[in-house]
Amino acid sequence: MTIQSGETIPALTLTQATAEGPRELTTDALFGGKTVVLFGVPGAFTPTCSARHLPGFLQNLEALKAKGVDAVACMAVNDPFVMNAWAKDQGVEGAITMLADGSAAFTKALGLEFDLTARGLGLRCQRFALVAKDGKVSHIAIEAAGAFEVSSAEAVLAAL
């Protein structure tokens, strides 16, 4: 079942790359007491994710913060080393929290898994964006396969 507006973010652990190596980050620490925009992508370095999705959130970061957002995080079913390399490539280090869901446990808990095994890509995350206030989803937008409309930074700004 896909997570809905009004529901609580599942209590799980994601991984974040740091200078000291991979560090676990609980969803409670990420979302507790804050307004957070979390967007998910099918994969780091993929065309739409790199050309439009991640850059859009970087370009609109100040506007999101002006609307009360404390943090913006990007998640993919990748490992933390890939997410860190992508952050460096995209120039988002220190601005957007890059999160790895290597085993897709969090993606599955959200009900947002997307099986691309037939295309050689394995289990991935659907493209989505959500706003959570103190761990409760206040807005969620999930893209149709192959689309990029409702989960953009601009769409999230309009929903705030």
Give dist(CA 41, CA 49) in Å, integer.
Answer: 6
Burial class (CB in 10 A: 0-12, 13-18, 19+), 55: middle
Taking a C-beta distance cutoff of 8 angstroms, is the pair 138, 132 a contact? yes
Active site residue 125: no
Task: Find all residues with CB under 8 Å of 13, minimum gap 6, and list them.
Answer: 24, 25, 26, 27
Please tell me which residue in 3, 49, 129, 142 is annotated as part of the active site.
49
Residue whose entry in the numeric block shows the structure tokens 């999160």: 99
Phi, psi of 56 (to 5 degrees): -60, -40
Structure tokens at 155: 């769409």
Active-site residue list: 49
